[in-house]
Structure formats: C-alpha cells, structure tokens
C-alpha cells in the first residue's frame, strides 16, 4: 500500500493526488511530531503488517460469527497507522534508508495485500475466485508503480484521485455492508452483489494497468526514439 522511500539515493518524484491527501498529510505530520523517540519506522512497518493479520483473521472468523468482521475493521485502522506512518516518520526525522526502506516496505505491502484480499475471499461473503481477480489487479498496478520508479523516477501513489487510504475506506465500507446485510443471494450466475463489486474493482484495476502501461510506453518511446541499425 503507501511506499516508504525511493529505490535509489536520487530524489524520487512522489505523485499523490488522492482526495484525502492534504488532510492525511496534516494528520501524519502531527503524529510524527508527537511520536515517542523509541518508536522506529521499522516498528511501524511491522505494526501495519499486524493490522493486515487482524483483517485476515476477522474475515476468516466471520464464517463462525459475523461480529468478527469488526476485528477486520479495527485491523484496517491499525494497518493504516503503521503503513502510512513508517515512511513519514523516517522522512520527518531525516533517517531514511532508501534501499532498505523501499525493499522492506514493498515486501510487507505485498504480503499484507495478499492477506487482506485472500481473507475477503475466504469469508462467506465473497467467492475466492473473485477476490483473486482483485488481487491480480492490485498487484499489476503495484508492478507498474515499481517499474515507473525505475524508468521515470516517479512514484505514483494514487490513480483516479484514489490512493491506499481511499482503498481502505472503501474496504471498511464493504465490510460494514457485509456486517449489516449478511451473505447475499446470487444475482447473476453464482455471483452475489459483493462478488460483483469486488470483481468490478479488480477488472477496473486491470484495465487501469493496461491504460497506464500504454501511456508510459508511448512516453518512453518519444523520449527514446528508435534508431536505425548501422553496419
């Protein structure tokens, strides 16, 4: 979800145009200023991972009792706190470790995303095969972000005015809908409303990956025009 630092020592152009970016940045700056000295960015990274484990556990346990969905909602809050604050704290204290932070944060992000989406698919509300489409779409967009850092020096943190925080809010809303509505009946084929929503988000991400890949390829083609072979 929110990357920590760039992959190299040179400054990376961080592009963040999501809806709550300004409000979130003010909140993160305040939290960084108030954070005890013994709290480290690594501790926050692992806290975010614990939050993802709570999300996974809540969805899995919801097969026994829907009240466990509340644990997933709490897990999203814990995950936001750790994942959004780790890199912010490192930059606030000017203690960045660019390569280490980039590697650790993205590794934890990938595992956390897998836990969250597979957890949704293992609940009684969304089919696993549908959840895996959403996971594929998210990972494709992650790959695009990683490649853009390498070839453009840009780290895009949002698309269509939405970033990791907006995605968490959407997932919290989805979880609340699961809690109050309960498992739904199939609407088309064997898919219910939750399946259609999650699958639709996955297909949107896949389509966005195709569009962004084509746009980046055109940009790079202009910057690096083809050259004739010379004997």
pLDDT in tens, the chain (231 residues): 444 444 444 556 666 666 777 888 899 999 999 999 999 999 999 999 999 999 999 999 999 999 999 999 999 999 999 999 999 999 999 999 988 988 999 899 999 999 999 999 999 999 999 999 999 999 999 999 889 888 888 777 667 677 788 889 999 999 999 999 988 888 888 999 999 999 999 999 999 999 999 999 999 999 888 877 665
Main-chain phi, psi angles of 154, to 5 degrees = -120, 140
Please give the Cα distance from 183 to 68 (Å, whole number): 14
Query: Strand pairing of 154-156 and 13-15?
Result: parallel
**13-221, which class in CATH?**
mainly alpha
**Distances, alpha carbon 219 to alpha carbons 140, 154, 163, in Å:** 19, 13, 23
pLDDT of residue 4: 41
**Pair of tokens at residue 214:** 């084509």
This prediction has a pTM of 0.87
């Amino acid at each position: 979800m929110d990357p920590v630092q760039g992959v190299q020592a040179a400054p990376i152009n961080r592009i963040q145009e999501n809806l709550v970016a300004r409000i979130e940045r003010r909140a993160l700056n305040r939290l960084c200023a108030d954070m005890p000295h013994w709290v480290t960015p690594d501790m926050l990274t692992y806290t975010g991972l614990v939050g993802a484990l709570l999300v996974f556990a809540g969805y899995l346990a919801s097969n026994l009792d829907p009240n466990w969905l509340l644990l997933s909602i709490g897990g999203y809050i814990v995950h936001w706190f750790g994942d959004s604050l780790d890199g912010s704290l490192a930059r606030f204290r000017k203690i960045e470790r660019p390569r280490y932070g980039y590697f650790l944060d993205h590794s934890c992000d990938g595992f956390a995303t897998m836990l969250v989406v597979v957890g949704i698919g293992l609940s009684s509300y969304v089919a696993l095969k549908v959840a895996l489409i959403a996971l594929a779409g998210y990972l494709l967009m992650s790959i695009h972000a990683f490649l853009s850092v390498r070839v453009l020096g840009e780290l895009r943190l949002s698309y269509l005015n939405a970033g990791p925080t907006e995605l968490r809010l959407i997932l919290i809303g989805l979880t609340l809908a699961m809690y109050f509505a309960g498992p739904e009946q199939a609407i088309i084929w064997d898919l219910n409303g939750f399946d259609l929503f999650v699958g639709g988000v996955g297909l949107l991400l896949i389509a966005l990956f195709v569009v962004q890949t084509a746009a980046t390829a055109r940009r790079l083609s202009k910057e690096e025009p083809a050259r004739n072979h010379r004997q």
